[in-house]
Amino acid sequence: MEQSPPGSFLSEITGPLYERECSAGYVRRNTPLSRESSPEGIVGAVLRLVGDAGRYVIGQTVVDGGWTTH
């Protein structure tokens, strides 16, 4: 089972989190990449997992911005 928890990314749902610099700064400081992603930044990895390129991939977590390294 593969999963792609995207970490933090700017979206309609998370928009209010990024409106205040203190909360946006917290997310950036606690993400090893020090930046948020976007839906466009996630789609490539998801396509890899669901396509032929990922047919031998099992039990992987991808696209989390490094959250699992904490």
Task: State the DSSP string of 24-51.
Answer: HHHHHHTSTTSS-B-HHHHHHHHHHHHS
Is position 7 within any domain? no
Is position 33 within any domain? yes
Q: What are phi and psi of 51, to 5 degrees?
A: -95, -175
Is position 5 within any domain? no
How many structural domains is the chain composed of? 1
Is position 1 within any domain? no
Domain range for 62 is 15-69
Using the structure block, give the residue that is written with the tokens 């990024």: 18
> From first to last of its 70 residues, what are the pLDDT tens digits of the chain?
566 666 677 788 888 888 999 988 888 888 877 777 777 878 888 888 888 888 887 777 776 677 666 6
Is position 51 within any domain? yes
